[in-house]
Amino acid sequence: MGTSTSAVATTYTVTGMTCGHCVSSVQAELGRLDGVTDVAVDLAGGKVTVTADAALDEATVAAAIDEAGYRLVPDATPAAGASCCGSCH
């Protein structure tokens, strides 16, 4: 059937989505990005899963979500070598 087995699916947290129109706007903007093959939005959970031919740059995804009128929430996991300030424990 010719489907690619190297597709990369990444899930993002997006704030501000409240209805079906929000879902459509996010899907349309992300669907315009080069290489994107699918966009699935979980409105209740505030999650967006983007499937693409290759990994997408998070800044590009954030810009598309911003263009739709919403905001990408950065991953809260400390980067390698970084330490948590301890306030969340």
**89 has a pLDDT exceeding 90:** no
Mean pLDDT of 3-25: 89
The model's confidence at residue 85, banded by pLDDT at 50, 70 and 90, is low
35 and 54 Cβ atoms separated by less than 8 Å: yes
Helices 58-68 and 20-31 pack at an angle, to 10 degrees, of 140
Using the predicted structure, report yes or no on whether residue 20 has a pLDDT greater than 50: yes
- The predicted-structure confidence for 58-83, as pLDDT tens digits, reads as follows 999 999 999 999 999 987 554 444 44
Torsion of CA 75, 81, 85, 88, to 10 degrees: 40
